[in-house]
Amino acid sequence: MGMWRKAGHVACLLASVSLVGNVQGASPAVQASGVFINMRGDVLTARHAVQDCPSLYVLKNGQVGVARLLALSNEADVAVLQTQMKPLLAATFSETALADGHSIAVFSEAYAELQRMQDRARVLGNALTVPGEPGSLQMVSGVRPGTSGSGVLDGGGLLLGIVVERVAAGTGGSATELSASHGSARAGMATVVRAVPAAAIKQFLAQAAIPYTESNAAQIGSYQSPASRASTLAVGIICG
């Protein structure tokens, strides 16, 4: 049995986790995605994708592990899962906020789609940021259900935020969460997608005393693919 701890805008749950084993045959269906944010195996994802799950598992490279909620944000749609997975690589956050007023090419994709992407070593971007209010992160993207919790990487492989929902066109439109259980018939269309920006996530992680790394230095070379880095960072999340 875990113990809840509230601190400011963060709710933390302390619990033990364990590995289950290797997947035999077809991989289980994942409902959402996440990214490793430190080398101890903590996974950042979307709060709506995990907060009501009676049990949680993570999938990576054919291995399944039990996960536990470590922290939930009471403000942003983000959460952290504790796992015993041993990542090969952890995300590095962009130290500087995305500049307002212009667009840049970025990459974001669901864990399941990344596993099927045969040409990811050549993909430099699949989305374009949309200028908006200061501190916001929106992009034009064709991401599908299951992308909630996916990292948004810039051309240098730095983490700019995580995807949480598709935004309906026009003012006053409703938003559609992008976990598989909240899937939309518009999946695959290039629409505006909202992500929680790195600044808000880093504030949440600091309040929850969860370690992370940030930098302004590119994490990959100019001719290397952010899609390949995203694949290494990505984790599939199964809501049991």
Alpha helices by DSSP H, 14-162:
47-50, 111-116
Burial of 25 (0-12, 13-18, 19+ CB in 10 A): exposed
Confidence at residue 5, expressed as pLDDT on a 0 to 100 scale: 39
Residue 182 has phi, psi (to 5 degrees) of: -115, 30
Q: Mark the ranges of the chain whose per-residue pLDDT is less than 50.
A: 1-8, 14-16, 170-175, 177-187
What distance in Å separates the CA atoms of residue 60 and residue 132, rounded to the nearest whole number?
34
pTM, rounded to two decimals:
0.84
Picking from 92, 45, 53, the residue whose alpha carbon sits closest to that of residue 71 is 45
Confidence at residue 111, expressed as pLDDT on a 0 to 100 scale: 95
Q: Are 68 and 146 in contact (CB under 8 A)?
A: no
Confidence at residue 125, expressed as pLDDT on a 0 to 100 scale: 92
